[in-house]
Amino acid sequence: NASNAASRGAFIVMEGMDRAGKTTQVGKLRHTLEEQGHKVKTIRFPDRTTPMGTMIDGYLQSKTEMADHAIHLLFSANRWEKAAWIKEQISQGYMILCDRYYYSGMVYSAAKKNPALSLEWARTPDVGLPRPDRVIFLDLNAAEAEKRGGYGEEKYEKREMQENARELFLGLAGRGEESSDMVVIDAGHSVEQVASAIWDEVMKVVKAVETVPRRELSV
């Protein structure tokens, strides 16, 4: 109803390649929103603190091996663990800033180019999760990312995987629900310039949630 819609928070997702500056920008956005008097909570996926998160962490650090489909479903289950909490916080008026979400889920799994694991298949287990009000994709090409200090040691931090993932991310801008939720921001500029471009988008969302009810991801 209208009074619920008026008091809910927004669900904002920050997506992007490794080294694109997601964590820095989530921190800056939190600060700006709080300055404006909003209540904010930040989360990140994978959430490595839960039992499923521990399994994901072991996989990413190459301590354990898992079939492509199995690890994909774990990443999704790790979001489902938090779904009720996200809904609850939003309905209590919190702005949720989320570092990675199902977009990462889709593209990193599909970037493995396993013919049995398509982008469409990868999206299916996430159907029904809280749908973001806005997904900000911080776009940085692999060469720029490497200039920023290169990649770490984790499983997916390899150039080919990153290039495949970026291409798939950009392709989501033309796919169904994602095309209306996602905005691409060039992360190759200064921290302040990127923060200002993000704020322009978030301002619109903060205004819009006053009238738009919370939704779920649909097929």
Q: Applying CB under 6 A, which residues contact ligand TMP?
A: 45-46, 60, 75, 100, 104-105, 108, 156
Shortest approach of ligand TMP to residue 18 CB, angstroms? Answer: 6
Shortest approach of ligand TMP to residue 91 CB, angstroms? Answer: 24
- Nearest residue (CB) to ligand TMP, 8 versus 131: 131
Which among 176, 201, 173 has a CA at the least distance from the CA of 33? 201
Shortest approach of ligand TMP to residue 75 CB, angstroms? Answer: 3
- Nearest residue (CB) to ligand TMP, 61 versus 91: 61
Structure tokens at 210: 């006053």
Sheet with 95-99: list strands edge to edge: 40-44, 95-99, 11-16, 134-139, 182-186
Structure tokens at 136: 């900000």
- Nearest residue (CB) to ligand TMP, 46 versus 132: 46
Shortest approach of ligand TMP to residue 96 CB, angstroms? Answer: 15
- Nearest residue (CB) to ligand TMP, 11 versus 108: 108
- Nearest residue (CB) to ligand TMP, 60 versus 172: 60
Shortest approach of ligand TMP to residue 207 CB, angstroms? Answer: 28
Which among 198, 218, 213 has a CA at the least distance from the CA of 133? 213
